[in-house]
A and B are shown apart, each in its own frame.
Chain A
C-alpha cells in the first residue's frame, strides 16, 4: 500500500532576491511500513524534505499525496499520522511547561483518553521511551539531552502516528549515548510498524540504523535534488554519483581507510551559490562535462538509481 508519494515536488526559497532550491523535482514513493534513510549534508535540502513530509512546508510546485490524497486537503490526517523529531531536543520542547503539561493535551486530543486513565497513558508512554514516569513533573532545562530527546519522541508518539520523521535526531547529543536513541527509534519502528524516515549526514550512524532495521532504502540529497537512490549497503559499498562517492570517501578517510579516488581529484572550494540550472554538484565535480551545466540528467539504473551523465 502506498503511503507517501512525491511528484516533482519543488520548494523555492528567496534570499536577497536570489532563488535557492530547498527541494527540486523530487519523485519518491514510500509504502506503508517502509523506512528510509535520507542522506545529505546541511543545506542539501534534507530538512526541507522532512518538513514537506509532515506538512510543515508548502510546495512551490509539484505534488505531495498522503494516502492518495493531496496534502493540502489532508492536513488533519497528516497532523495526526506524521510526526517530527527535531535536531535540538531541548529547544523543541516548550520551556515554560512541565513534560506532563506538554504531552497530556496531545494524548487527550488524539487518543481520546479521559480522567484517571490519562495519567496512566502518559506513564506508559514515558516508559515506552525508557523514561521514568517520575520525570514528568520536570521542566525541559532540568533534563539531559538524551532524556529530552526521548521526551520528544514520546510527544511524537502521543498522537499514535504512522510515520516518524527524525531529522538528525542524535547530532546534538553526546556521542556516547547516540546509538541508544537510534536503538529506541528502530525498536519503536519494529514494535509499532511505523515508517521511520531517518535524516542524517553521518554515514556511520546510517550504517548502524540500516544494521538495526536491515535492507533499508536510502536517498542521497544534494542541492535539493535526489542524486542517488537505492539499497543502503549497496550505496555504501558501491557509490555511483560523484557526490555520494565524495561523502563515502570523506567518511572513510576519517577512519584512515578508502581509496580517495575522488577526493584526490577534487579541488576544495566554497559553495555558497548552487547553480539553479543543471546538476547542482557540477561546480565541484571533477567529472563535470558540458551537459551537466545545462540540464539535470535522467535517471539511470546501474545497478541502482543514479542521476548522473556518467551513467546515461
Chain B
C-alpha cells in the first residue's frame, strides 16, 4: 500500500506566449519508509511538482488534471480548511531550498514554530516550545537558538531549523526541495546524515529533490528522473545506478565524473532545448528516432522499473 500516489499530474503556466506545461502526466508513488530522490535539471518541473504535493501552486500556475492521493485522500479535492487542518504539516510537510531565505527576518525562531503549530491546531504554546526543543536536539542545535533571529544563524543552522520545523507534527512524508544545495561540504554531509537518521528511526518517507546526481544517489532508495516536466525513468536506486534504461538517465549518469572509475567514458549530454511536442528529450537524445519527435511515448514497465521511451515499446521503429 502506497503512502502517496501521484496520478497523471499535469500543471501548466500561463505566459504571454501562451500555455506552457511544467509537469506533464506525471505518475509515481512512495511507500512508507522510502526515500525517493527526484533528479532533474533546471526546467524539469521538479520544484513545481513538489509544490503541487503541498497545494502551493498559485497563479499563473495551475493544476490542470491529476490526483495526489495521501492514504487514499485526494489532496487536490478536499477543502482548504480540511487540508490545512488534517494534512498539511500534520501528515505531509515541506523543507524549502537552502539557498532561499525562508525564515522571516523580523521573527525569532521560536515564533516560527509557534506560528506553524497554532496554524494546525496546536494551541498550547508551552507544548509547541517543548516539541521545538526536542526537535532542535534531533537536528543537533542548542535550544538557545529559539531566541535568535534568522540572521544570527549560519546557512547550515537555518537549514536544520527548517528541517526541525518540518517535523513539528511528526509527518509521515516530508518533501525536501534542494535542502543542501549551496551549503559547504561538512554541513551538507551533516544534514544528509540527519535526514538518513530521521528516515531510519521514524520510517519517515522523504521526497528529496535535487539536481546533484551524487547526492540523489547517496540518499535514495528509489530514483525518479524527470526531464521537461515528464517522468523519464522511475525505479529502484541500485538498479537504475547499475543498469539505467532511458537514454536520458544513461547519458546523465555518464556525464558526471566520479572520484573512482574510468574517466574515458565520461562525456557531456548534448546541449539542446526541450521538445514540447513528442518526447521532451528528443533534441538531445543519442538514440532519437523519427517517431519521438511528434509522439509522446507511453510509460513502459521493464523489470519493475517505469521507463517512458519508445525504445522499450512494442511499436518501436
Contacts and interface: CB of A to CB of B under 8 A. Distances in A.
**In the complex, A touching B (Cβ < 8 A):** yes
A268 B263 contact: no
Contact of B271 (A144, A204, A211, A251): A144
Contacts of B189: 250, 253-254, 263, 268
A255 B154 CA distance: 27
A176 B273 contact: no
| Interface hub of B190, B267, B271 (most chain A Cβ within 10 A) | B271
B271 A180 contact: yes
Given A43-B184, A207-B263, A246-B186, A179 B255 contact: yes
Contacts of B215: 254
Contact of B156 (A204, A208, A246, A270): A270
B190 A175 contact: no
Contacts of A236: 259
Interface in A239-286: 246-248, 250-257, 263, 266, 268, 270, 272, 284
Given A177-B271, A179-B266, A204 B214 contact: yes
Given A255-B258, A256-B218, A263-B189, 19 more contacts: A41-B184, A42-B184, A43-B184, A176-B251, A178-B268, A179-B255, A179-B267, A180-B268, A180-B269, A207-B258, A250-B188, A251-B185, A252-B259, A254-B189, A254-B215, A266-B186, A268-B189, A270-B156, A272-B154
Interface in B142-179: 154, 156-157
Nearest to A176: B269
| Interface hub of A247, A255, A263 (most chain B Cβ within 10 A) | A255
A118 interface: no
Given A174-B41, A256-B218, A268-B140, A179 B268 contact: yes
Interface in B93-124: none
Contacts of B260: 255, 257
B257 interface: yes
13 contacts: A174-B41, A174-B42, A175-B256, A179-B268, A208-B263, A211-B263, A246-B185, A252-B259, A254-B215, A255-B259, A257-B259, A266-B186, A270-B154
A146 interface: yes
Contact of A145 (B42, B184, B269): B42
Given A43-B184, A175-B41, A176-B251, A205 B271 contact: no
A179 B269 CA distance: 9
Given A207-B259, A207-B263, A268-B140, A176 B218 contact: no
A176 B186 contact: no
Contact of B185 (A177, A181, A208, A250): A250
Label chain A's interface by main secondary structure: helix
B213 interface: yes
B32 interface: no
A2 interface: no
Contacts of B156: 270
Interface in A171-208: 174-181, 183, 201, 203-205, 207-208
B41 to A, nearest CB: 4
Nearest to A246: B186
B212 interface: yes
A147 interface: yes
A144 B273 contact: yes
Nearest to A203: B259
Given A43-B184, A176-B255, A252-B259, A147 B140 contact: no
A17 to B, nearest CB: 16
A62 to B, nearest CB: 26
